[in-house]
Chains A and B, each alone.
Chain A
Amino acid sequence: MSDTHAESVAYVRDTMLKPQPAPAGESGAIRWLRENLFSGWLNTLLTVLGVLTIYFFVSHFASWFLHGVWKADSLAECRKIITAEYGQGATGACWAVIRDRWHQFIFGFYQRELYWRPVLTFLLLFVAVGPVLFQWVPKKLIWFTPIYPFLAVWLLWGGSVWGPILVAVGFVLAWIVFSLVGRYGSIAGFSAGAIVAILFWMFGVSPLAGILHAAIPLGIEPVESAKFGGFLLAITLGAGGIVMSLPLGVVLALGRQSDMFLIKTFSVVFIEFIRGVPLITLLFVASLLLNYFLPPGTNFDIILRVMILVTMFSAAYIAEVVRGGLAALPRGQYEAADALGLDYWKAQRLIILPQALKISIPGIVSTFIGMFKDTTLVAFVGLFDPLKGIPDFIRADFAWKGIYWEPFVFVGAIFFILNFAMSRYSMHLENRLQRDHR
């Protein structure tokens, strides 16, 4: 070929050029400053204004933070100390309220001598989610994960150990029925399993638990739901809601894409109804209306009721987020799975959902964060959430009457830490799963 070129082309390169470093002054801090802060007169003006604004806020709030008082028995005493130290008219934070009442912010009205139970439950939470969330945690620990929810309920609410065990047995029964009936179709198997489990929970659990407890009384001191409050309540609702709403949301998203008319219609109606109604409405339903529909005499725990509605609420949002992920997958993925002979559930589990969920991670985690913050709305149905319920209770004490900022700052900071951790984890997970375009 080269000889023909030599005749028709006048120029031939015989050595290739090596890459060279960029000229000096095109990198470094000075360039960054010039480019980002002082690139023109408008940008320079905005930079100066920005710095002034920041100075204004810091100069006002810094003194409030710096004048903080940690040791006092009432708000009045706090003010006295600040006036004495910084002069008339000085402002300062009265952190003494946190020092005095931190246990109520964290545990609500849980008995002091039983604080070890929520603390242990919280620590075990990390053991349970570790194998799922992090690769460096030994995978063998995964056996603990399905046990944890029942253990957590038992530790938090106490009482006989047989109740949680029998509820777990209900899941095992459902699984057995599903695998037996599932041969005749996955929907038949799923419905049969669900019906058996629900019947068992409604009519089997309490008499059986009574009999077993009479025979082998194993239990710890019971704690009523009314004693739950603060972050104990928020984290219980949040963690329960997160764990239950993800599978429910995925099922709803798949249902919405289903070819089966009934399933599709149910999913669409559920999602649109729940998304269209404010969460507070649902919480009122949980606290007031649900009692009318339940058989008289059933004592359906308020926290459980609220958790179910919070779960449904967040599941509706998750379903739409996951649907976005499903829609983003090329048709070819579905076709390749079909062509290999994978049935619907296997294709979903092995091919479609792993990819769709990966795409949906940011949306799912946003929904979780939003839901966790929304657990503070339970204040409206008389539960003691950390943002309003507990501070209102504390302010009812004459010593702390009129204290607003400090509880807000404290509770807000804890929420921020927890949510920021979730957000960082989601970014870490996205990076870990980033495989397609390396």
Chain B
Amino acid sequence: MTEPHFEREIDRSHMAVSDEVAIQIENMNKWYGQFHVLRDIDLTVQRGERIVIAGPSGSGKSTLIRCINRLEEHQAGKIVVDGIELTNDLKNIDKVRREVGMVFQHFNLFPHLTILENLTLAPIWVRKTPKKEAIETAMHFLEKVKIPEQADKYPGQLSGGQQQRVAIARSLCMKPRIMLFDEPTSALDPEMIKEVLDTMIELAEEGMTMLCVTHEMGFAQAVANRVIFMADGQIVEQNNPHDFFNNPQSERTKQFLSQILGH
């Protein structure tokens, strides 16, 4: 098995997992029509955790994290995010969405707005931040993802890796307490994956609570404190990365790992 290859040592001093519960999912079920996508999901995420969710395609991992900010609706069970239960109440949904940032596979930047406008839009309109302050925050996060010089360009003028870093910065501008990543590197050229992963590692080093659906097993080994393996809409196995990769328990997990790491 190849070792994860990141150029620098990862600073673990702020990566503490607290006792405080960030996300509580109990007995959650979801159907698309007659198709049972998520079955009896139970998951508790403590503040400061960095969870990687892996599994074959169609296993429901994206659907699971999309339920956490109600991009998908669950039909049974309970999801509590930051002490707020997700129900049909639109006010609660908006409250949760303000606290939970999300990064998508296809970036989903707003193509008609400049990078800076992409970053300041939600703080100004949702958080009612004064424009000047929103711009300062935006520039701070653009510097953090190392593309402040692109502030006045449009998303279409940036490379995929740059766009994804802007998307991460856009989420961070809302000062979220939890970040969800839905296959953030799957749509990128290999040479751009690293720049996005580096940004995500920095975020983890600052103690952000992160849930990340990804196929980057190197990232999982280096950063995650817990790896969850899903198949057929269920959580099959979860463990710390060391034991997950070196000592998988279930047959499904072994089979999956041999497929993605075997060659």
Contacts and interface: CB of A to CB of B under 8 A. Distances in A.
A5 interface: no
Interface string A315-353: 000000000000000101101101111110010001100
A112 interface: no
B104 A341 contact: no
Contacts of A354: 112
Contact of A340 (B126, B156, B157): B126
Given A346-B125, A436-B111, A340 B97 contact: yes
Given A332-B104, A335-B104, A436-B156, A341 B94 contact: yes
A335 B66 CA distance: 10
Nearest to B100: A339
Interface string B113-125: 0000000011001
B125 A342 contact: yes
Contact of B112 (A339, A340, A342, A435): A435
A342 B126 contact: yes
A341 B97 contact: yes
A336 B112 contact: no
Contacts of A338: 69, 71, 97
Contacts of A342: 121-122, 125-126
A351 B110 contact: yes
Nearest to A437: B156
Interface in A341-400: 341-343, 346, 350-351, 354-355, 358
B54 to A, nearest CB: 22
A340 B112 CA distance: 17
Which of A343, A355, A437 counts the most chain B CB atoms within 10 A?
A: A343
Interface in B74-128: 90, 94, 97-98, 100-102, 104, 106-112, 121-122, 125-126
Interface in B147-181: 154-157, 170-171, 174
B156 A438 contact: yes
Which of A336, A346, A351, A358 counts the most chain B CB atoms within 10 A?
A: A336
A433 interface: yes
B108 A333 contact: yes
A112 to B, nearest CB: 49
Interface residues of B, number: 28
Contacts of B69: 338-339
Contact of B108 (A335, A343, A435, A436): A335
Given A333-B110, A350-B121, A436-B111, A339 B157 contact: no
A392 to B, nearest CB: 49
Interface string B229-249: 000000000000000000000
B138 to A, nearest CB: 13
Which of B102, B107, B112, B171 counts the most chain A CB atoms within 10 A?
A: B112
Interface string A423-438: 0000000000101111
B97 A339 contact: yes
A353 B101 CA distance: 23
A195 B183 CA distance: 49
Contacts of A350: 121, 125
B182 to A, nearest CB: 10
Interface of A: 330, 332-333, 335-336, 338-343, 346, 350-351, 354-355, 358, 433, 435-438
6 contacts: A339-B69, A341-B94, A341-B97, A355-B112, A433-B112, A436-B156
Interface of B: 69, 71, 90, 94, 97-98, 100-102, 104, 106-112, 121-122, 125-126, 154-157, 170-171, 174
Smallest CB-CB A-B distances: 3 pairs: A336-B108, A332-B108, A340-B122
